Amino acid sequence: MRERAVGKSEKFHILVLHGPNLNVLGSREQAVYGNASLRSINTAIAKFAKREGISVAIRQSNVEGELVSWIQQAKGHFHAIVINPAGYTHTSVALRDAIAGVAIPTVEVHLSNIYKRETFRHRSYIAGVALGQISGFGPTGYLLGIQAAIDHLKTARAAT
Ligand code: DQA
């Protein structure tokens, strides 16, 4: 985890988290999630971050507790979090509590449109503690999420 403290005038540091099964993107249910691998998505995220003049740290885990720990450790080190909680979206009170606890502005991202899919995917435990949710735009959703986080941070910084 990054050891820098968050300062008022420094460039924005954003933590991008990918939840379970996103490590197998590209081979997993291609009709739903497309052909892009997580590696290619992460490359696009890094390129976008460079263009926007921000820094990103990107992590993926299949383990709920590991995601919770990374969110907890983000406090004081990251200005915002962009997370695709994947399957934990629909089950995890622990992830929701972690996001609420750190009070870091968080954007929820989904590759697929979860509202067009099975009913159990229509409920997100994360949405209620997120700035907002982006769902259904494939890998572009991560870039939209980062852009939304940057805009939010700029507005908040201008108000201080
Ligand atoms: C997902 C949607 C979830 O319902 C699913 O469990 C995932 C991926 C998405 O990116 O569309 O693993 O978060």
Cα distance between residue 112 and residue 110, in whole Å: 5
Q: Is residue 88 within 8 Å of residue 71, measured between CB atoms? A: no
Say yes or no: CB of residue 112 within 6 Å of ligand 1: yes
- 23 located within any domain: yes
CATH number at residue 92: 3.40.50.9100
- 48 located within any domain: yes
Q: Looking at the 3D structure of the chain, how many domains does it have? A: 1
pLDDT, residue 78, reads 98
Say yes or no: CB of residue 134 within 6 Å of ligand 1: no
Say yes or no: CB of residue 23 within 6 Å of ligand 1: no
Q: Is residue 148 within 8 Å of residue 45, measured between CB atoms? A: no
pLDDT band at residue 10, thresholds of 50, 70 and 90? confident
| CA of 86 relative to ligand 1 center, distance in Å | 4
Say yes or no: CB of residue 121 within 6 Å of ligand 1: yes
- 83 located within any domain: yes
**pLDDT tens across 30-42, in order?**
989 999 999 999 9
Q: Which domain holds residue 63?
A: 13-159
pLDDT band at residue 143, thresholds of 50, 70 and 90? very high
pLDDT, residue 5, reads 59
- 44 located within any domain: yes
Across the chain, mean pLDDT equals 95
Beta strands in 6-63 (DSSP E): 13-18, 55-60
| CA of 84 relative to ligand 1 center, distance in Å | 7
**pLDDT tens across 82-138, in order?**
999 999 999 999 999 999 999 999 999 999 999 999 999 999 999 999 999 999 999
- 99 located within any domain: yes
Q: Which atom of ligand 1 is nearest to the CA of 22?
A: 12
- Minimum mean pLDDT range among 5-9, 49-53, 155-159: 5-9
- 4 located within any domain: no
